[in-house]
């Protein structure tokens, strides 16, 4: 996939080259088709210089918009698969990941294990100490689970499936 920066740069460069080619083609055509018209060097210089100066100014905002939209799309893609509190995969991200793992091979080539953690009486923590403490508690659990499964395998993932379910 082409990076957004490279795409924006290519858009500016190609539009500038196209503007120069079209300007010079118009002057050349006029010189060829109109007998009383005699193109001079300065005609071609203007036909090259003006697009070189103007095209990037006209195309740069469009290129920047493409760049930002691509960045925002990637950020949105990440956010719909990530739990905002813990930074772990959310339910959607977890099941998409599991689907990819199962599609890559059978259980003999890639053994799979799933562990479910449900924090008992988590509501009591929120009710007694407040939601800020409850959120901190969930973040600590998430970091602990993530650290425990960290390894060499790119298949090892931790996810927050529900409120207090990992």
- Residue 136 designated active-site: no
Higher-pLDDT residue of 19 and 76 is: 76
Render pLDDT for 138-155 as a digit per residue (tens, 0 to 9). 999 999 998 888 866 667
pLDDT value of residue 102: 78
Dihedral sign, CA of 90, 111, 118, 99? positive
pLDDT value of residue 28: 81
pLDDT value of residue 39: 67
Give the distance, in angstroms, between the CA of residue 156 and the centroid of all CA atoms in the same chain: 23
For the chain, percent of residues with pLDDT exceeding 70? 91
Render pLDDT for 64-106 as a digit per residue (tens, 0 to 9). 888 888 889 989 999 999 999 999 999 999 999 888 887 876 6
pLDDT value of residue 8: 73
Render pLDDT for 102-120 as a digit per residue (tens, 0 to 9). 787 665 566 777 889 898 8
Contact yes or no for 65/50 (Cβ under 8 A): no
- Helix, coil or strand: residue 60: helix
CB 54: neighbour CB atoms within 10 A?
Answer: 12
Contact yes or no for 125/71 (Cβ under 8 A): no
Render pLDDT for 118-139 as a digit per residue (tens, 0 to 9). 988 888 998 899 999 999 999 9
Choice among 124, 146, 152, 164 that is catalytic: 164
Mean pLDDT of 7-23: 81
Q: Is the pLDDT of residue 17 over 60?
A: yes
pLDDT value of residue 109: 66
Higher-pLDDT residue of 49 and 89 is: 89
Tell me the longest C-alpha to C-alpha distance in the chain: 94
């Amino acid at each position: 996939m082409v990076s957004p920066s490279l795409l924006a740069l290519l858009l500016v460069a190609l539009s500038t080259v196209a503007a120069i080619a079209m300007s010079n083609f118009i002057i050349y055509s006029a010189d060829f088709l109109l007998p009383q018209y005699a193109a001079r060097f300065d005609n071609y210089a203007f036909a090259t210089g003006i697009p070189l100066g103007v095209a990037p100014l006209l195309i740069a905002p469009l290129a920047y918009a493409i760049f930002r939209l691509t960045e925002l799309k990637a950020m949105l893609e990440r956010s719909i698969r990530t739990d905002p509190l813990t930074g772990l995969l959310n339910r959607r991200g977890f099941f998409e990941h599991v689907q990819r793992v199962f599609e890559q091979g059978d259980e003999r080539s890639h053994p799979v294990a799933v562990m479910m953690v449900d924090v008992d009486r988590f509501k009591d923590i929120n009710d007694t100490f407040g939601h800020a403490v409850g959120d901190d508690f969930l973040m600590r659990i998430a970091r602990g689970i993530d650290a425990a499964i960290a390894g060499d395998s790119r298949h090892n993932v931790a996810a927050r499936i529900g409120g207090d379910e990992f």
